[in-house]
Amino acid sequence: MKKKAISLLLAGILTFSMGTPVFATESEIADMQAQKQEAESNLAQTQSDISSMESKKQELESYLADLNTQYEELTNTISELSIQAGEKENQLKQIRAELKKAKKAEKKQYEDMKLRIQYMYENGGTSALETLLSSKDLAEFLNNAESVSKISQYDRNMLDKYVNLQNNIQEQETAAEEEKQSIDALLAERSSKKQEVQELTASTSDNIASYVDQISASQEEAAALTEQINNADNSIALLVQQAEEEKAAREAAEAKAAEEAAAQAEESNDAEESSSQDEDTSEDYVEDTVSEDIPEDTSDEECTEETDSSDDSEDADTSSDSEAASEEQTSSESSDSSQGKYLGNFTLTAYCNCAQCCGTAGNLTASGTVPTAGRTVAMAGVPFGTQLLINGTVYTVEDLGTPYGHVDIYFDNHSDALSFGLQTAEVYQLN
């Protein structure tokens, strides 16, 4: 029975040791891989943003080139219109001068005609007729008539000429003024357009500068993400190497523990077999002794006395055994009272309140308390609040997660939990 129990214990130790991976290292590797994937995703998004901003920047640069071309064309057009406006202004000045001169000539002609008419009226108005009637012959009459007609026609022609000239000059003045107004309006329109293009050029230049700054910042972010990915790769490589080293060390420790357990089991089996052989030898010896001491011919009375004597002896032996058991129980109770009730040699591990150990960080214990280093432990099979004495420290069972015989001790941080590793210790129950 004892051999079977030791074999089962050895199998349990090996199974527990082989089935306990390095959760912390694997969790750290998974965490680093998740961080690397997130950084790669962010890097891809950042590179996409950079490409989009580069495209928009190129579009703005093309638009800015068009605006600069328009600005240059408007500048040339405004310069030409300014020249034309100046020429029209000079033309208007000349037309106004000619108009003034024509009006002056018209006025002089008009004054001359008034003098002749006044002279004719003052002299009776008969001078022309007298001149005709005083002609000596028909030829002189015709010559005098022609002279009078020419004078009248001259005055009429000159009057019409000056009137036409004045009208023509006024028409030229009106046309020149309209052309100048058109040029001035076109000049104002082009100046306004030039101002608008100038503002668009400045705004586009500012947008391009903004995209340049954003692209520069995104490129710096991409460089930082690339460095983060490289660091994650290095960390993952180191963690994998550490995991392999810890696995090799754990396998070596498991092999050594298996050898020691096998040796202990073998020693225990040898001791059990030796004890069994001693008991068989003692029983044979007692039987031989009894058979030698009892004579063959005895009366019933003697047998009765011997039986009574034997019973008294057995009662004495039983009493002695009871006293010994009582003393042993008293000694055990004394040991239990000094250190509590002895539960056995339990397996010890460690955990903390991080996401790697508990799935999510910042959880309460299964009993609803806040886990505290130096107090909180997890073990099933005993009620919450049970106090355990382990290596001189009193802990309280406040959490679950491990079977009876396996105590998981709480630490404040993950590194301390990793440093604790896998241990064994004598465990006593105080309450």
List pLDDT tens digits, range 228-274.
899 988 888 888 888 888 888 888 888 888 888 888 878 776 666 66
User: Contact at 8 Å (CB) between 2 and 268?
Assistant: yes
User: Contact at 8 Å (CB) between 368 and 374?
Assistant: no
User: Contact at 8 Å (CB) between 397 and 388?
Assistant: yes
Collect the ranges in the chain with pLDDT lower than 50: 1-22, 124-126, 281-337
- pLDDT score, position 282: 45
- CA 195 from centre of chain: 43
pTM greater than 0.85 (yes/no): no
- pLDDT score, position 18: 44
Q: Which of 144, 143, 151 is nearest to 129 (CA)?
A: 144
Q: Which of 357, 403, 352, 406 is nearest to 381 (CA)?
A: 403
**CA–CA dist 182, 180 (Å, integer):** 5
- pLDDT score, position 144: 65
Residue keyed to tokens 């005993």:
382
Which residues, listed in sequence order, are joined to residue 378 by a DSSP beta bridge? 399, 408
**CA–CA dist 420, 393 (Å, integer):** 15
Domains of the chain: 1-276 (1.10.287), 340-431 (2.40.40.10)
Q: What is the pLDDT of residues 159-187, one digit of tens each?
A: 777 778 778 888 888 888 888 888 889 88
Q: Which of 198, 188, 178 is nearest to 88 (CA)?
A: 178
Rg (the chain; Cα; Å): 65
User: Contact at 8 Å (CB) between 314 and 376?
Assistant: no
- pLDDT score, position 4: 38
DSSP string across 147-177: HHHHHHHHHHHHHHHHHHHHHHHHHHHHHHH
